[in-house]
Structure 1
Amino acid sequence: MGRVFIVDLEGQIYSCKHCNTHLTKEQDIMSKSFQCRYGQAYLFNEVVNISTGNEEDRMLMTGLHTVTDIFCVGCGSNVGWKYVTAHDINQKYKEGKSVLELYKIVGPYDSNDLVCQEISRLEI
């Protein structure tokens, strides 16, 4: 296996909760109205620093889809899934897009970031 290169993103980013590897940018959010087994998830146009698992058919809330789990290349944690094929014509926009589960990632507006921002503001 070759060396893994990590892409560093700039701006408002979402990262792996376990190792802080950058995964995507806020501007790549397509939808915030997705659900996963354990709560809320976001659909992203582009995600980096991931590896994919095997393709499998899953019956999701919007019908049958061929998906692959996606894993952080930094620590190997499962962070969501990627749509390979949507079997319903109304769901084709999801193909090639990724869903990240919010409980597995940290984002630009998480409580720790807000606390740091507030402390920085008070120190000025």
Structure 2
Amino acid sequence: MADLVGPRLYSCCNCRNQVAFHDDIISKAFQGRNGRAFLFSLAMNIRVGPKEDRHLMTGLHTVADVYCSDCGEVLGWKYERAYEESQKYKEGKFILEKAKIAKENW
């Protein structure tokens, strides 16, 4: 029966555009602008904004905001560059804020 439902995934809370698979979560222990956030290895159906340097809780990073490709809602950001060696694992990964995404097929 579970095979009929399809993969567990997350969608934009605003328009239900599918943006990430549950299996692509690396960590649920991140902080976004509006509370808890998840670190994903991949995201889909998104637009990536311009790069900018930001001082985050773990130091200086080059990031780009991530938007829903359908409605334009800001969902989080993409790590483009980490300046500290211990943070390099985040490069190319996506932060999606829990408050901005909804569970689908659970």
Unaligned runs of 5+ in 1: 1-9, 114-124
User: For 1:36 and 1:73, how far apart are their aligned partners in 2?
Assistant: 20
TM-score computed with the length of structure 1 as normaliser:
0.78
What is the aligned counterpart of 1:15 among 11, 29, 38? 11
Unaligned runs of 5+ in 2: 1-5
C-alpha distance after superposition, 1:1-38 (max 9, x if no partner): xxxxxxxxx50000000110000111000000000121
What RMSD, in angstroms, separates the aligned Cα atoms of the two structures? 1.3
Aligned residues: 101
Query: As a proportion of its length, which structure holds more strand?
Result: 2
User: For 1:50 and 1:80, how far apart are their aligned partners in 2?
Assistant: 10
C-alpha distance after superposition, 1:78-110 (max 9, x if no partner): 00000000000110000000000010110148x
The 4+ residue runs of structure 1 with deviation greater than 4 A are none
- State the one-letter code of the partner of 2:22: E
Query: As a proportion of its length, which structure holds more helix?
Result: 1
Higher-RCO chain (CA-CA 8 Å, sequence separation at least 6)? 2
